[in-house]
Amino acid sequence: MSIRTGSIYVYNQGNMTQLLTTPSEHPKQENIKIAAQALRAGKLVAFPTETVYGLGANALDETAVRGIFSAKGRPSADPLIVHLTGVDQLPRVAHSVSPTALRLAEAFWPGPLTLILSRRPEVAPSVSAGLNTLAVRVPAHPVALALLRAADVPVAAPSANRFGHTSPTTAQHVLADLDGRVDVILDGGATPIGVESTVLDVSTNPPRILRPGGLTREQIESVIGPVSFGPQSETAEAGLPSPGLLKVHYAPRAELVLFNGENAPAAMLAALTEIKATGRTVGVLVTDEEAQAFESAGARVYCLGPGADLSHVARRLYAGMRHLDTLEVDVILAHDFGVQGLGLAIRDRLTKAASRVTEP
């Protein structure tokens, strides 16, 4: 294989990972074509979406889909999301789409909403981990859409991380986790939303949020009225054997302690002093406004952006966990941002990453 412009080959574990760069707004067609051909040939392609990077395979190719599970080290009982170019492709993968599902799809696709629908038999059974239902979404990222159009097949894609790690928001994160385990990585820069899509089960009345994400509960309710949200988010539907498996789903390497409630920043500062006194190093995930106080108290600080704008916090959350891990801190301290808007998804991810949650 020759090295093309804009591509880097990385050699590891006997396999090649081809890294292809593309501008995010105007995808480089030459690289899109290479990635699309790889998908059609049954290979694994990581690509940016508006939420996080996905690890894609042709959803109609059972062998290719199984490759996703082995590359990630993901339990086969945990089903995947199928990505489409638009609502018009729904009949290829799902049947009997309800009026509620259609209204949501029309309102929010392309966008960070995943709908649980009924699976057509053409879709590889591994995609749904043997269930009759199927998770489907249309991503709002020019590179993802260009790839899906060029490949012209539905693409099954979980987040492109090793099982148990935080989801990747840059191609470098993908490479750190899956070097030598994925055939192609399309590098379209950092993903704009930073947390995964909202997963909604529309088969129940009212519909139920299985995983809060980039589309807020308020946005969904503005179109279809009240929806429910269960704390057990993903486990029941996914048929996972134990909620414990999900406990580590979005975890950094360091021990993460989460502080919830009004006085969280003050409680974090006190904890920082205590932990430092035991000789351990501490990293903190804080807003721009809080940074100075934590820096002075001797923490390694990662700024999540202005506290008033949760879109910044969501965008930088996973990158922050990965950054503090590369600094090899022993403990990460973080606090939540309530349950309004993106706060719900941020709290969910922090809770899953935490070894300990401190309530006021």
Which residues here bind ligand TXA, judged by CB under 6 A? 49, 51-52, 54, 78-81, 112, 114, 116, 128, 131, 133-135, 139, 157-159, 196-197, 199, 210-211, 234, 237-238
Among ligand TXA, Mg ion, none, the one that 7 touches (CB under a kind-dependent 5 to 8 A) is: none
Closer to Mg ion by CB, 167 or 260: give it. 167
Size of the site for Mg ion (CB under 5 A): 1
CA–CA gap between residue 325 and residue 75 (Å, rounded): 24
CA–CA gap between residue 324 and residue 269 (Å, rounded): 17
Closer to ligand TXA by CB, 131 or 293: give it. 131
Closer to ligand TXA by CB, 149 or 280: give it. 149
Question: What is the closest distance, in whole angstroms, from the C-beta atom of residue 135 to ligand TXA in the complex?
Answer: 3
Q: Does 166 help bind Mg ion (rule: CB under 5 A)?
A: no
E-strand stretches of the chain: 7-12, 15-21, 45-48, 53-58, 81-83, 94-95, 113-119, 133-137, 155-156, 184-187, 198-201, 208-211, 228-229, 255-259, 282-286, 300-303, 331-335, 356-358
Question: What is the closest distance, in whole angstroms, from the C-beta atom of residue 301 to ligand TXA in the complex?
Answer: 28
Concatenating the DSSP letter of every residue in 39-54 gives HHTT--EEEE-SSSEE
Question: What is the closest distance, in whole angstroms, from the C-beta atom of residue 154 to Mg ion in the complex?
Answer: 18
Question: What is the closest distance, in whole angstroms, from the C-beta atom of residue 5 to ligand TXA in the complex?
Answer: 27
Among ligand TXA, Mg ion, none, the one that 150 touches (CB under a kind-dependent 5 to 8 A) is: none
Closer to ligand TXA by CB, 174 or 269: give it. 174
Among ligand TXA, Mg ion, none, the one that 197 touches (CB under a kind-dependent 5 to 8 A) is: ligand TXA
Whole-angstrom CA distances from 334 to 11, 141, 152, 277, 354 are: 36, 29, 42, 19, 9
Question: What is the closest distance, in whole angstroms, from the C-beta atom of residue 131 to ligand TXA in the complex?
Answer: 5
Question: What is the closest distance, in whole angstroms, from the C-beta atom of residue 271 to Mg ion in the complex?
Answer: 29
Concatenating the DSSP letter of every residue in 136-195 gives EE----HHHHHHHHHHTS-EE--BSS-TTSPPPSSHHHHHHHHTTT-SEEEE--S-SS-S
Closer to ligand TXA by CB, 187 or 290: give it. 187
Closer to Mg ion by CB, 154 or 213: give it. 213
Among ligand TXA, Mg ion, none, the one that 199 touches (CB under a kind-dependent 5 to 8 A) is: ligand TXA
Question: What is the closest distance, in whole angstroms, from the C-beta atom of residue 51 to ligand TXA in the complex?
Answer: 3
Amino acid (one-letter) located at 66: R
Question: What is the closest distance, in whole angstroms, from the C-beta atom of residue 195 to ligand TXA in the complex?
Answer: 8
Closer to Mg ion by CB, 126 or 159: give it. 159
C-alpha angle with apex 352: 350 to 356, nearest 5 degrees? 80
Which positions from 133 to 162 touch Mg ion by CB under 5 A, shown as an x/- string? Answer: --------------------------x---
The helix (run of H) or strand (run of E) holding residue 320 is helix 310-326
Whole-angstrom CA distances from 103 to 85, 88, 107, 198, 314 are: 17, 13, 6, 16, 26
Residue with tokens 């975890």: 251
Amino acid (one-letter) located at 200: L
Judged by the rule CB under 5 A, the positions of this chain that interact with Mg ion are: 159
